[in-house]
Structure 1
């Protein structure tokens, strides 16, 4: 292999990708290529290694006594910690004939001494390594504002008034339309009156009975909805204005505000929130809901941490559901019902739209004629918004999930006494979160559940058992176990996300923790001393990383026009991502062992 090939190989491997050009040169000059046969021992326990090994081809197994600790494959390096600590804790043996680079210890230690980023790699925990990954993504995948157009951002609907109406009437119109401006029609001219104009008017003691046309600003600058946002920003700055008339086919379709344009530079959150708040009908709310996907893309491209992203999306999702319910449900129904979301929506862990999981609890004794039509409209509208129907029909249009409180209590009682069943419905209900209406109805239902359980350890064991339903897709040599029928992909939900979510849910139910979000449940369990603090931190980071990896592949499939699912292809990850995924799966396995021990699952038949 030539020196150029050596440099290219090394430069792609963390943490060597952090080296400066002269350091890469030094590494390439100092490295030798070595060959070892299967069965050869490279490093012996308690010995002092003289070099760092970087695998080109082959497999090396790390063991402690008779127990395998890890396995190393192409692009992996070992054993840096032995070089730093002066002694190896484990044995390293060639499992499959090996071709590797050998970097002398002296050169390795010089790099550690002079390159802080290189040094940090070997001392950082999972959390810090994830941050490094996010920084790498951030530099590669920044959202492109340069090509965004005005139609890609939020344009306020036009609110027109006649120039001859009073200022008082104009303010009434602004309040009714939840607008902070009105467009004033004055013969063939269009002017604008903003909140600032009204404040100035008051300070100048103008009468609110004067015509609004007297305080309007005319000769407004307009742009086409197909113009670039960057151009719009330059026009605003050049003319010291904060509003632009936006036209399509020479007709005014709205107003672009500078604050919304600047908000677009950072993320789409405020725009979606404004659209939801100002939606006056289902069609406008649908537009806001659909824009959430663009918001997620922006978040992911800018490297936002997955925990924060889930919080933003969850809050906006709840606002969509709440607003929609207010559109379809009369006030009498709103006062006597509680609309709830469950599953990933209830946990606040849904980022892209997935199957609906919702229900409605009615006040005992309350009957509403036409309820079936309302629940049908609610479900069908959500489908139209992009939330697919639940295959298991766990939706409000299913009478089983739209019942009085006493019926829900009866259902909960059945779930508890039939503890040898999979208890999928109860698991989903445990994650229920109130969206609209009287949330005390949900609180009463959950309190009834906690009262029925008491200290029923047999129930908790059966409830926790599904944590072990799926094998972790990590092989003996820490290679990924993929599904050949799915183009060498693996199901990251079954293999990694679900075991953590359900195991934590089981612990939360046992200890009557009312939080529904998995990350928050873990923190509460840590405070109660149920989970070790250090392990809890790893658990949180592992779950967050797997969710972020799933999101990455979901967005890639969306980009290709394919339906997104829980399958990911490990071969499409870079070296650091593959290592982090392996670490995450190892944490999943450790958590499964904890669940087995805690709930005594090894004693179940």
Structure 2
């Protein structure tokens, strides 16, 4: 039975970090309701995930894994589900599932699932509601406003450390996901989505450049932080103390946050709703 193993999340975008867990999905070219076939696929998925964990690549803790029925389907069922999520994003966690599966990239196996998903997500004529929901979700991922003494100023309060993933990378990844899909691009890296969105006019050149530069800075800081932790024998995380950064880097970080915020506000006004 032909099947394909799909990497999703950061691995699907080709953007994993030492702290990244593995999101995955499975698709096969056969019936979706065959209990014996499903059992075989589940056993396969569990063995692969066990092997990845033994290699230091743990599975996603939120359940986005190929051993889950939500992420293991026939190609026909995947196409039907993707079409439903696009046309009815508010139904049955549609927007959340779409945001995960749209990152999918085939790792192994010769089936046409990637082409089917790309068509369902990026070229469905009934996707306007989905695009607005994705845009609203992207504008809800707010960067910090800056730093005050030893504290990071967040929209919800203050913290002594900065979560570079939540405060820096997630807002840009969410904007790129929306802008890429609006430009007709499904699974791709954040950088590729920003380039496609600029070429299609979904983002103007200045906004795309701001997001690219900020993304590169946040990725660099996150990787440096986690490599230092690994060298010290620590578990890698995303929590950076800005006071440990050189003054020039701290200034660049502030400007990057402000730039992302400006882009969010401009997009919100253009689409008819302001970023919170």
TM band (smaller chain): 0.7 to 0.9
Report the CA distance between 1:411 and its aligned residue: 2.0
Q: How does 1:570-585 map to 2 (within 5 A)?
A: 570-585=242-257
Distance of 2:182 and 2:175 partners within structure 1: 11
**TM-superposition CA deviations, 1:444-479 (whole Å, max 9, x none):** 13213345x415433211122222334321249798
- For 1:542, the equivalent position in structure 2 comes to 214
2:135 matches 1:474:
no
Contact 1:496–1:546 (8 Å) recurs in 2: yes
Question: 5+ unaligned residues in a row in structure 2: which ranges?
Answer: none
Tell me which of 195, 201, 215 is aligned to 1:529.
201
2:7 matches 1:341:
yes
Distance of 2:261 and 2:159 partners within structure 1: 25
Distance of 1:598 and 1:387 partners within structure 2: 41
Distance of 2:70 and 2:197 partners within structure 1: 32
2:239 matches 1:567:
yes
Report the CA distance between 1:603 and its aligned residue: 10
**TM-superposition CA deviations, 1:191-231 (whole Å, max 9, x none):** xxxxxxxxxxxxxxxxxxxxxxxxxxxxxxxxxxxxxxxxx
Distance of 2:134 and 2:10 partners within structure 1: 18
Distance of 2:43 and 2:143 partners within structure 1: 44
Tell me which of 101, 105, 130 is aligned to 1:459.
130
Q: How does 1:318-467 map to 2 (within 5 A)?
A: 333=1, 336-352=2-18, 354-365=20-31, 368=37, 370-420=40-90, 423-451=95-123, 453-454=124-125, 456-467=127-138
Contact 2:179–2:194 (8 Å) recurs in 1: no
Give the SS at the match of 1:473.
Answer: coil
Classify 1:528/1:371 alpha carbon distance in 2 versus 1 (closer, same or farther; 3 Å): closer
TM-score (norm 2): 0.86
Distance of 1:394 and 1:457 partners within structure 2: 26
Classify 1:461/1:428 alpha carbon distance in 2 versus 1 (closer, same or farther; 3 Å): same
**TM-superposition CA deviations, 1:360-391 (whole Å, max 9, x none):** 11103386473332111001111111111211
TM-score (norm 1): 0.41
Report the CA distance between 1:405 and its aligned residue: 1.2
Distance of 1:401 and 1:386 partners within structure 2: 22
Between Structure 1 and Structure 2, the one with more strand by share is 1
Distance of 1:598 and 1:459 partners within structure 2: 17
Contact 2:6–2:108 (8 Å) recurs in 1: yes
**After TM superposition, what 4+ stretches of structure 1 lie above 6 angstroms from structure 2?**
476-479
Report the CA distance between 1:515 and its aligned residue: 5.1
Report the CA distance between 1:426 and its aligned residue: 0.6
Report the CA distance between 1:413 and its aligned residue: 3.3
Contact 1:473–1:482 (8 Å) recurs in 2: yes
- For 2:167, the equivalent position in structure 1 comes to 495
Distance of 1:414 and 1:365 partners within structure 2: 19
Distance of 2:17 and 2:105 partners within structure 1: 16
Question: 5+ unaligned residues in a row in structure 1: which ranges?
Answer: 1-332
Distance of 1:529 and 1:339 partners within structure 2: 33
Classify 1:471/1:447 alpha carbon distance in 2 versus 1 (closer, same or farther; 3 Å): closer
Classify 1:555/1:364 alpha carbon distance in 2 versus 1 (closer, same or farther; 3 Å): same
Distance of 1:482 and 1:593 partners within structure 2: 17
Q: In terms of mean alpha carbon deviation, does 419-428 or 491-500 score higher?
A: 419-428
Which entry has the higher C-alpha Rg, 1 or 2? 1
Distance of 2:254 and 2:88 partners within structure 1: 37
CA RMSD of aligned residues (A): 2.8
Report the CA distance between 1:358 and its aligned residue: 0.6
Give the SS at the match of 1:388.
Answer: coil
Contact 2:152–2:160 (8 Å) recurs in 1: no
Tell me which of 250, 256, 267 is aligned to 1:595.
267
Contact 1:353–1:386 (8 Å) recurs in 2: no
Distance of 1:363 and 1:477 partners within structure 2: 56
**TM-superposition CA deviations, 1:169-189 (whole Å, max 9, x none):** xxxxxxxxxxxxxxxxxxxxx
